[in-house]
Amino acid sequence: MEIIKDTNRPVRRAALSAIATLALLVGFAPNATATATAKRTPTVNATLIEYKVKLKPATVSAPAGKVKLVAKNKGTMTHEVIVVRAADAAALPVDGEGSVIEDEVDEEKPKIESESHSGGDHKDHFSVKAGKTKSAVFDLTPGTYVVFCNVNQDVGNTKISHFKQGQNAVLTVK
């Protein structure tokens, strides 16, 4: 689409926002054509709670290699969305507290193409405050990914690793 090539960033953001709104409307229209569906970036909804990530759908077809992750934090604290290419959660390296050692999986992190939020501070992950929703389009070639939160939280004298508590899910891209 030509409009995406516009180099004027503020204008481009506004245009993308309009497109997102349009896509939302199209998504709700019962008569959306097959063509419109095929051209849309496939979306995966990720619901974040303590301490889970629920993906809907958990398997997605992405012929263009792009997947939009819409993360809704329905929990009571900030959670993260990190994506790493791996067979499953057990395949990821963890430290003594049970958190993923991100340095060791940096090269398995797909890049973020674009984000819903301004001031996107990360190239490959983002965090979502309680009650908020954020989205990002990831570069996801076919394969299996683990979507997780790697917050390691101080609770009294101990730490709670959200990942270790089970805040992770497998996403399959075809």
Q: Using CB under 5 A, list all residues that contact Cu ion.
A: 79, 149, 151, 162, 167
Q: Minimum Å distance from CB 147 to Cu ion? A: 11
Closer to Cu ion by Cβ: residue 51 or 138: 51
Report the 3 state secondary structure along 23-77.
HHHHHHCCCCCHHHHHHCCCEEEEEEECCEEEEECCEECCCCCEEEEEEEECCCC
Closer to Cu ion by Cβ: residue 48 or 62: 48
DSSP summary character for residue 4: G
Closest CB to Cu ion belongs to which residue? 149
Closer to Cu ion by Cβ: residue 41 or 133: 133
DSSP summary character for residue 18: H
Q: Minimum Å distance from CB 151 to Cu ion? A: 4
Tell me which H or E stretch contains 134. strand 133-139
Q: Minimum Å distance from CB 83 to Cu ion? A: 14
